[in-house]
Structure 1
Amino acid sequence: MKPSTLFCTFDIRNLYTMLPQEEALNVLVEFLHMHGYRKVKGIPLDSIRKLASVVLKENVFVYDNKFYHQTTGGAMGSSFTLTLANIFMWQWQKGLVRRPDITGEFFGRYIDDIFMTWNRSEHELRKLLDQANTWHPNIKLDYKIGQSLPFLDVLLTNNHGILATSVYHKPNAEPYVVPFNSDHPRHVFVNIIQTLLTRAVRYSSTFDIFNYERRSIKLMLLYNG
């Protein structure tokens, strides 16, 4: 990594409810074919596609005393919708990662959240991402560019060519945890402390960063009683 290396994070706007249904089903079959499947647990791929179509397309909901049939995307919270969205993004990202100007960059994706490095100008990166926003009418990116950016719950910083990582705190979610005087089972509080400290150990790239996070955890727990 160079001192001038930029980071970029972006996510897909409303991915689960904007999946193109027929196209996503075709990508599912292509994905299974590419990975050597002709049957899955004895079920032929054409049958899997038909079953997937039922799960994806037969969704109705009520709004203002009227029934609606969902024609784009899948049911929110459905494990199948999440899996299908992940596979659809596998297909979509090919247009990005196979570009010659991406060669040598780091690219990582967690479902619809993407992180990548960039060693050219910010203008070129913005141009690329704006182009990517035109590749598919249903797939739109919201992106951020900088040398210190959060990705999921990690804050990544380019510190003069050295990667520094720390815990990212969402401003709307912290410093609030379950108050100690609530009626939750005692093991809940033990798990909270254990999770906070484990996250601090895993994400802190230096001992100083870990110590800062440890003190922040202590203050947060005191604040919440």
Structure 2
Amino acid sequence: MGSPLSPIVANLYMEKIETEAIATSHLKPKLWQKYVDDIFVIWSHGHQELSKFFNHLNGIHPRIKFTKEVEEGNQLAFIDVLIMKKPDGTLGFTVYRKPTHTNRYLNLIANSHHHPKQIHAVAKTLTTRSRRLADIDHRQQELDTIETTLQMNNYSEKNIKAASKTIRKQQKTRGTPVIITTLLYIVGRTDKISRIFRRHNISTSFVPERTIRSMLRNAKYKIPLE
């Protein structure tokens, strides 16, 4: 919303606020890493000093306030990653799911007008995320969770294995230039065109013929320029 420069200006200003807060604090965080509006902090000075630093952080600007979540049971969720503190002091990682997560995705056998490639992409995306976010100690457990979730959505073992096979194939061919085109998905027609494109190293993505958004009119009234 607003000017395209707004997020950049907001990020620069927040960077200034954070730099000032850390510079004027008598105790510093051991680690301060930010992604957009989420900050991961390692604090090694105790809970009492953390509360003082948090109040100091919220006192830099009267209209900018931070919220905080403290680890519980040696675990802390940061965006899509669940970070765990191991007994030896090192950190472990796996995929984080909110308590409200329902494990519902595009159903493989449901009557949905989506190209099969889009439906199979669900399995591929979930598998790729697990391989990237979960460490070696938690990866197999995460992959088992995904397999159970996909089976709930009527994916067969063959479909799940095909997703892993596609990922390995993409990793081997990464860096090979591929032309990508987008086609309107029409059953029986778009598939034939995409097969022809594939012979010429052209990858095809698909969009539904009609969406709810295309059928509903825009509720916003456009005011003409004066």
Shorter-chain TM band = 0.5 to 0.7
Alignment of 1:1-225 (within 5 A): 75=1, 79-98=4-23, 99-102=25-28, 105-146=30-71, 147-160=74-87, 161-180=89-108, 181=110, 182-207=112-137, 209-225=138-154
For the aligned residue pairs, the C-alpha RMSD in angstroms reads 1.9
Contact 1:89 1:111 in 2 (8 A): no
**How many residues get paired?**
148
* Post-superposition offset of 1:164: 0.6
Please report the TM-score for the alignment, with normalisation by the length of structure 2: 0.60
Report the Cα distance in structure 2 between the residues aligned to 1:82 and 1:173, rounded to whole angstroms: 29
**For residues 118 and 197 of structure 1, do their structure 2 counterparts lie closer, same or farther at Cα, with a shift above 3 Å needed?**
same
Contact 1:167 1:204 in 2 (8 A): yes
**Which residue identity lines up with residue 145 of structure 1 in the other structure?**
V
Unaligned runs of 5+ in 2: 155-226
* Post-superposition offset of 1:193: 1.6
Contact 2:81 2:94 in 1 (8 A): yes
Report the Cα distance in structure 2 between the residues aligned to 1:168 and 1:79, rounded to whole angstroms: 31
Aligned structure 1 segments of 4 or more residues deviating by more than 3 angstroms: none
**For residues 127 and 174 of structure 1, do their structure 2 counterparts lie closer, same or farther at Cα, with a shift above 3 Å needed?**
farther
Contact 1:108 1:115 in 2 (8 A): yes
Structure with more strand by fraction: 1
- Which structure is higher in RCO with an 8 Å CA cutoff and minimum separation 6? 1
Residue aligned with 2:67, SS: strand
Unaligned runs of 5+ in 1: 1-74
Residue aligned with 2:52, SS: helix
Report the Cα distance in structure 2 between the residues aligned to 1:152 and 1:79, rounded to whole angstroms: 24
Report the Cα distance in structure 2 between the residues aligned to 1:201 and 1:112, rounded to whole angstroms: 25
Per-residue displacement from partner, 1:29-75 (whole Å, max 9, x unpaired)?
xxxxxxxxxxxxxxxxxxxxxxxxxxxxxxxxxxxxxxxxxxxxxx3
